[in-house]
Amino acid sequence: MTASAQPELRMIPISRIEVLNPRDRNQEVFNEIVENIQNIGLKKPITVTPRIGDDGAEKYLLVCGEGRVKAFRKLGEERIPALVVTASDDDAFIMSLAENIARRRYKPIELLSGIAQLRDKGYKAREIAQKVGLGASYVEDVLTLLNCGEERLLSAVCSGSISMRAAMTIAGAGDDSKAIQAALHEAYESGQLRGHQLMNARRLVLRRQSAGKGLRRAPSSSSNTAITSSSLVRAYQKEVQRQRLLVRRAAVAQQRLAFVIGALRKLAADENFCNLLRAEGLDTVPKYLADHIVRG
C-alpha cells in the first residue's frame, strides 16, 4: 500500500468530496453523531485522498468518515477538517473497506460486499486476507460461498448464528432436502453444531429453502411464471396440509379437555374428596372449567 506516511491536516470543501465506499447507516446512530458534533465539535478528522476533478480543480476521495461528512452537511457546514493522504484508487478503496470492517458493529452484507468487490478487482483470497486483516482460510471460504450465491449462509456466519464449517457443510449438500438434513446430522455428530446453533441452522435451512440463498432477490419474469403455476399449487397444498394438522391437533385437545372435565365431574361428586380439597385450600378451579362441571 502506498499511502503517505505523513498526512496533511486541511479544511476542505464538503462539496468536493466523493464517497468511495458508501453504506447504509442506522438513523438513530446517525442522529447521535450529528448531536455530538453539534454539542462538542468534531473529535476526529475524516481521511481523504486528493484527485483532479473534471473541472480541473482538486477533489477528494473519501477514505473514512462518511458519517461525519453527512453530519456536517446536515448541520449546514461547508468545510470539514480532513487528513489528506496520498493513495492510489485501489489503496484508497481498501483503506475504506478495512475501516468499515474494523468498526465494532458492521453489517454482514458490508463485509461480503467489500470482499466481493476486491475479488472482482482481481485480488486472490490470500491478498484480500492480508489487506483487510482476516484469515486466509476464512476469506477462501467466504469467496467459495459467494461464488455459490450463499449470501444467507454467509450472513449467518458473520452474525455468529452458525460456524463457517457448518455453513460450508450445508452449502456442500446443495438444494436436496434429504442431503441437507444428513449434513445437519453430520455437523451435530462432529460437534460443529451444538445447542442453539443447531436450532439456528435448522431455521436457516428452512428460510434458505423458502426465500433462496441470496439476501436480496430481484423479481424476474421467470419467477413470476413459477408463482402463478406449479409454485402456487405447491404453496396451496402445503397450506392445506398445515390446516389439516391444526384441525387434528384441535380435535386431540378437545378430547383431552373433555376427559379432564369428566374426571373433575366425578371427583366433584365425591363429598369426602371435596372436604379434603377444602381443608387444603384447593377447592377453587377456573370459572371456565367450573361452568362445564356444573353443566354436567
Q: Copy the grid coordinates of residue 34.
A: 450529528
Residue 66 pLDDT > 90: no
pLDDT > 70: what percent of the chain? 82
Phi/psi for 219 (5° steps) reads -65, 145
Q: What is the mean pLDDT of residues 29-52?
A: 87
Which residue ranges make up each domain of the chain? 1-106, 133-214, 230-295
CA 266 to chain centre: 55
Residue 103 pLDDT > 70: no
**65: helix, strand or coil:** coil
Tell me what pLDDT residue 2 has: 47
Surface-to-core class of residue 256, CB atoms within 10 Å of its CB (0-12 exposed, 13-18 middle, 19+ buried)? exposed
Report H helices in the chain. 27-40, 66-74, 89-102, 108-120, 125-132, 136-147, 151-159, 164-172, 177-189, 196-211, 221-227, 230-268, 271-280, 287-295
**Cα angle vertex 100, ends 95, 102, to 5°?**
90
Q: What is the mean pLDDT of residues 267-274?
A: 82
Residue 120 pLDDT > 50: yes
**What is this structure's pTM?**
0.47
Q: What is the mean pLDDT of residues 53-63?
A: 90
**Maximum mean pLDDT: which of 50-59, 116-125, 205-214:** 50-59
| Alpha carbon distance 34, 31 (integer Å) | 5
Which tens digits make up the pLDDT trace of 193-229? 777 777 888 888 888 888 788 776 444 444 444 444 5
Q: Copy the grid coordinates of residue 162.
A: 452458525
Surface-to-core class of residue 71, CB atoms within 10 Å of its CB (0-12 exposed, 13-18 middle, 19+ buried)? buried
Residue 149 pLDDT > 70: yes
Residue 74 pLDDT > 80: yes
Phi/psi for 80 (5° steps) reads -140, 145
| Alpha carbon distance 87, 89 (integer Å) | 7
Count of residues in the chain: 296
Q: What is the DSSP string of 6-54?
A: SPEEEEEEGGGEEESS-----HHHHHHHHHHHHHH--SS-EEEEEEE-T
- In CATH terms, the fold of domain 1-106 is 3.90.1530
**59: helix, strand or coil:** strand
Tell me what pLDDT residue 289 has: 66
Q: What is the mean pLDDT of residues 31-39?
A: 86
